[in-house]
Amino acid sequence: MRMKQESTRDAARRKGWKIAAVGAAAVIVVGGGVGIATASPWDDAPSSSSAPSSSPGATKDPQAAPAPVAPAAPAGEYTVGLTPTDKALAVNPATAAAVTVEGATLDAVELTPRAGGTPVAGTLSEDGTRWTATDRLAFDTEYAFTYTVLDSTGQPQRKTSTFKTVEPANEADAALYPLDGSTVGTGQPLELTFSEPVTNRDAVEKAITITSTSGQPGDFYWLTDTRVRYRPETFWAPNSTITVNLNLFGVDLGNGMIGNADRTMTVKTHNTRLAVVDNATKTMNVYLDGKLDRTFPITLGTEDWPSTEGYMVVMEHYKSTQFRAESIGLNPGDPAYYPPTVVNHASRLSKGGAFVHEALPAAQVALGSFNVSHGCIGMSPEGAEYFYNTFAPGDVVQILNTDYGPMYVWDGFGDWNVPWDEWVGQPADGFGGSSPETSAP
């Protein structure tokens, strides 16, 4: 029989607020006054024009206007560049805060949260013309830049500017399944779930590095704009370690949403465990590390409720749970309806309700002979308990010869049913099929 579990997609929060562009504005200070310069402080200074020289033998015209002479630079003039600019809002905290000067030197620089706290560390260049922060900024924080400039006359000028970083509404984070430190089967894909929709997928993928001790390369496959899977071409090698580096701090996910953290996580695989279920023989052969360990008679889905074929991955276990026909769209009076039923040693294979479980007593006469389930794999009490105790999340079940087609990629972990060339060739704006609000039976 088959129990169906509703899956809902969180409505993606889309914000209209865009991240403010962060630039460096040049400020000219003349005699203590402040004005906005039209040229960047990093541009080459224009050379002064000089009076044209007379050609040999030319006679000077006493009525001619005097040649223009470049004015001397006023004493104490200098320019200041600020990153972020003064009064900037929604600043990406990955921005390297900096102060630069031309025509002067920096005597002191301090960058502190306005509400109090530890100053942001930074370094001053050897020539004293540039200070750059070496610590990261924090989210949702207003900062004050206080700096003292010594102009060309040696006079100190103390100035202050402020800016504010991205607020929590524009932060985004990501969660990994399996959890950090987990040990799983060799068929377990990695899944990242983002708190906000990702429209800048290339930037996000580049910010994520996944390596394994087996050296297996892999690729991403987007199910939705908030969920992406990662797997190699073939199952993970047994007894290997997979390391996931999420370098998402400051990464623009799109729509003004900014990644808020860097994390490193590891997942390990155990030995190879594979159960091959053949509808033609109504048997399950269990292979451990490639060697046949046990064979059990089974029953599968009927013609009206066929079992999908292809690869599935164990998702979770229940020593005892209740199946309800309503979860797969059946109501009292329907021909295939059954009352709420307690089943033992149930191992979930799909969101849609496919399980390996102990067949009900009335169904055990069908084991090895004919199909009576609603799509599940029914087993004897001994077989179901053996499977429950031997297989763990990430272990692989392969079903053959049901002629019903493979399980979808989103219905549990049907990832291995997607051909590799299709997996790596996913269109730039495509997803791995649209997951309905409730999975099909």
Q: What residues are annotated to the active site?
A: 357, 376
* CA-wise closest residue to 19 among 135, 169, 136, 225: 169
Structure tokens at 162: 């402020």
Strands 227-232 and 252-254: unpaired
Task: Tell me the CB-side half-sphere exposure of residue 354, using CA atoms within 13 A.
Answer: 31
> What whole-number distance in Å separates Cα of residue 187 and Cα of residue 274?
9
Q: Is 229 exposed, middle or buried (0-12, 13-18, 19+ CB in 10 A)?
A: buried
Q: What H or E segment, with its residue span, contains residue 421?
A: helix 420-424
CB 200 within 8 A of CB 208: no
Q: Which three-class secondary structure state does DSSP give residue 373?
A: strand
Q: Give CA–CA dist 230/221, Å, rounded.
A: 6
DSSP string, 146-204: EEEEE-TTS-EEEEEEEEEE--GGGEE-EEEESPTT-EE-TT--EEEEESS--S-HHHH
**Rounded Cα distance, 383 and 385, in Å:** 5
Q: What are phi and psi of 316, to 5 degrees?
A: -165, 170
Structure tokens at 76: 């104490």
Shortest CA distance to 262 belongs to which of 251, 278, 273? Answer: 251
Contact between 345 and 388 under an 8 Å Cβ cutoff? The reply is: yes
| CA proximity to 288, closest of 359, 186, 379 | 186
